[in-house]
Amino acid sequence: MSKKSLSIFVCVFAFIIGIFGGFAGLVYINTPKTDVVEISEEVFYGNDDIVSSNLADISNADISIHFLELGNKYTGDCTYIKTETCDILIDCGSKSNSVAAVSNYLNQYVEDEKLEYVIVTHAHQDHYAGFATSGKTKGIFDLYECETVIDFAGTAAGKTETALYQKYQTKLSAEIAAGATHYTALDCVNGTDEFDIGSGYTLKILDSFFYHTPDLSNENNNSVCCLITNGAKNYLFTGDLEADGEAHLVTLNTLPKVDLYKAGHHGSKTSSSEALLNVIQPKVVCVCCCAGSSEYTTVNANQFPTQIFVNNVAKWTDKIYVTSLCLDYKNNKYTSFNGNIVFMDVDGENKLWCSNNTTKLKDSEWFAKNRTWPTT
């Protein structure tokens, strides 16, 4: 064989192997394992079944709540909420380069380049990087007119000297100079804490101990917490609030049972405590994370969503959904878990649409390999 035909042969061979390997990989990722964990139905609390929905329902929904994938392997939060009159954004992580994924998504729904409400829960990169850009990198404040911005009342020690925080303040100041109304969460609880967001819904900024006395050692506890409610339906967002903050939250506020709870702190073992869950008794729980990632720990059970989180939530619901899945952190491989998760109220009915699938966490292949469902 000549050198040329040998190299053509090698190329073609490599191409076929590549196609075959890719196909085998896809089949591997998509094939459900047969040893799915058996679940005893009496574990559950008689939640209404959520109706799986289709994309068209989003435009008919009174409210839609979207938990977004962030375009990289890093865990972070970004929640977009749409009513008939308002576009609301709670956080924009995980990194400044997530803004591309987030804005591509938002632009499908935001018709006037205006976000009526923006909430920045706390000064951690995985929540506010998308607001804290500089130079040519456009952030949320550059791309959208943000009408009302509500952010954290305080930060941990030393935070205000960091470069990211200063970028955030620069962008926020510019947005305020351009006409935005700005409140800290403490301003809200001392003044106006309820905002009419249309479709009969109210955004209520909840009271939290750490607005008044910032947690100087744990930034997560400085999270802005809010409830979206129309009296019948309730949706709770607590940022990365930790168990001690949750204990204060339930004493400072009269919390209702909730239809939807954004898992605190990405499904960490230090949030979604019994004290909170016993009060809110969630029907559906959405986790913003890249599941099974070693970003924060190599201890499997403590990787988001953690085993302790599963144990705590399982008492109330098996309807747990997760945005993204980490395949290989070191080699930058990640994919969708449920994908972009959209929870909706359509004429009083809770509906769910996900860009990848609506498989419950406990029925997933990842769960069978990495978590167990409690049996009592």
Report the sign of the C-alpha dihedral through residues 263, 265, 268, 271, in that order: negative
- Count CB neighbours of 166 within 10 A: 13
- 260 phi and psi, to 5 degrees? -140, 135
Residue 63 near residue 199, CB atoms below 8 Å? yes
Closer to Zn ion by CB, 240 or 345: give it.
Answer: 240
Binding partner of 87, given Zn ion, Ca ion, none, CB within 5-8 angstroms per partner class = Ca ion
Measured over the CA atoms of residue 208, residue 209, residue 210 and residue 212, the dihedral's sign is positive
Residue 314 carries which side chain, given as an amino acid letter? A
3-state SS class at 292: coil
**Residue 87 or 240 with smaller CB distance to Ca ion:** 87
- Work out what residue 240 binds among Zn ion, Ca ion, none; the CB cut-off runs from 5 to 8 Å by kind: Zn ion
Verify binding: residue 318, Ca ion, rule CB under 5 A.
no
What residues from 64 to 103 belong to the interface with Ca ion (CB under 5 A)?
87
Question: Of residues 233-292, which lie at the interface with Zn ion (CB under 5 A)?
Answer: 240
**Cβ-based neighbours of 155, under 8 Å, separated by 6 or more:** 122, 123, 165, 214, 219, 222
State the minimum distance, in angstroms, from the CB of residue 118 to Zn ion: 17
The tokens describing 343, both together, are: 């929870």
Letters for 284-313 (x = contact with Ca ion by CB under 5 A, - = none) are: ------------------------------
Binding test (CB under 5 A) with Ca ion, winner from 35, 41, 42, 112: 112
Count of residues near Zn ion by CB under 5 A = 2
CB of 198 to Ca ion, least distance (A): 10
Per CB under 5 A, which region of 4-12, 121-129, 154-162, 310-318 contacts Zn ion? 121-129
Cβ proximity to Zn ion: between 87 and 91 the closer is: 91
DSSP-derived secondary structure for 240-265? T--HHHHHHHHHHS-PPP-SEEE-GG
Cα–Cα dist 184/191, whole Å: 10
Closest CB 210 distance from Zn ion, rounded Å:
15
11, 23, 114, 160: residue in contact with Ca ion (rule CB under 5 A): 114
Residue 215 within binding range of Zn ion, rule CB under 5 A: no
The answer to the question of residue 126 lying near Zn ion (CB under 5 A) is yes
| Chain contacts with Zn ion (rule: CB under 5 A) | 126, 240
